[in-house]
């Protein structure tokens, strides 16, 4: 089938595009390269279109002729959304509306939307299931929740099949350690490689369901064809829990830098305390099960960050 991956030059999108091509699908990537990189698609035989989700013409052109749209394009990061809530809304909500409009007009069979565990906010339940009321704590979380609702409305009103996947703390190769909004795993890895201790926001007791990117890629591909997925919102994660302090120490162990001791900084605005997924619904509807456990995925990721392609490894 022919697929569109919005945000396909980004971290998750490039991994998804590569796997779709590997499975024999024709892939078009739409990305404005604001956070994505062409180098993430090196060796991936796909069509690339540079364009912005806020441009209806660019979106319509990319969607045309596609059977499935994987909508991963977004302006990521909770801190970024707090600094600029208007941009988050324009890209994540307005851009999603453009994708849905184009998909409906072009006769797309299904749109798979990348949502976020951030919509749960600080729900008191440590394990997050899809029937919990959303409690977003940041403009980013609000934008993802609004986009979910648009997807469901397009299914209910217009008959466009949509499936929304709430990702939990995805990590893996192609994550950018140099961004000012870098995710915690590439950030901790880069600091340790530079001989500097990881800086943990808060006391380090906050926990996350860290999910290796291959698991999320598999969830997306399953959601593109599962008969009962349309109109649903589903968690995609490992169903486990790791504290940030434990994560930091495990990265130091992998890199052989146990001489470094994590230091603690202030709590970051918009952060939730605990986030762990109930993946029962995705298992039942999609047949989803995590393919790569946290420990294995972390070892792969740290190795990739420590020795990126074209650069000699550490001596």
Catalytic residues: 140
| CB of 174 closer than 8 Å to CB of 40 | yes
| 85 phi and psi angles, rounded to 5 deg | -65, -30
How many residues can be counted in the chain?
A: 315
Q: What is the largest CA-CA distance in the chain?
A: 59
Distance of CA 292 to the CA centre of its chain: 16
């Amino acid at each position: 089938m022919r697929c569109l991956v919005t945000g396909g030059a980004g971290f998750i999108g490039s991994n998804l595009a590569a796997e779709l091509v590997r499975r024999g699908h024709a892939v078009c990537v739409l990305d404005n390269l604001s956070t994505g990189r062409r180098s993430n698609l090196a060796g991936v035989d796909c069509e690339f279109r540079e364009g912005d989700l806020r441009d209806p013409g660019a979106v319509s052109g990319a969607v045309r002729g596609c059977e499935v749209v994987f909508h991963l394009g977004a302006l990521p990061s909770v801190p970024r959304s707090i600094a600029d809530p208007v941009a988050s809304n324009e890209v994540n909500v307005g851009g999603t509306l453009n994708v849905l409009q184009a998909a409906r007009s072009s006769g797309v069979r299904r749109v798979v939307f990348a949502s976020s565990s951030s919509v749960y906010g600080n729900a008191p339940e440590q394990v997050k299931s899809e029937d919990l009321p959303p409690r977003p704590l940041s403009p980013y979380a609000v934008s993802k929740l609004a986009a979910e609702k648009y997807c469901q409305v397009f299914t209910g009103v217009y008959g466009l099949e949509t499936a929304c996947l709430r990702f939990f703390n995805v990590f893996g190769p192609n994550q950018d350690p140099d961004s000012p909004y870098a995710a915690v795993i590439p950030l901790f890895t880069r600091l340790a490689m530079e001989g500097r201790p990881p800086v943990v926001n808060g006391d380090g007791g906050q926990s996350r369901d860290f999910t290796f990117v291959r698991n999320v890629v598999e969830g997306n591909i399953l959601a593109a064809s599962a008969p009962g997925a349309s109109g649903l919102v589903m968690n995609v994660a490992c169903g486990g829990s790791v504290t940030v302090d434990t994560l930091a120490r495990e990265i130091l162990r992998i890199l052989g830098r146990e001489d470094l001791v994590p230091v603690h900084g202030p709590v970051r605005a918009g952060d939730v305390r605990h986030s762990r997924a109930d993946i029962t619904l995705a298992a039942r509807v999609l047949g989803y099960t995590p393919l790569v456990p946290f420990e294995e995925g972390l070892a792969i990721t740290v190795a990739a960050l420590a020795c990126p392609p074209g650069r000699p490894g550490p001596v």
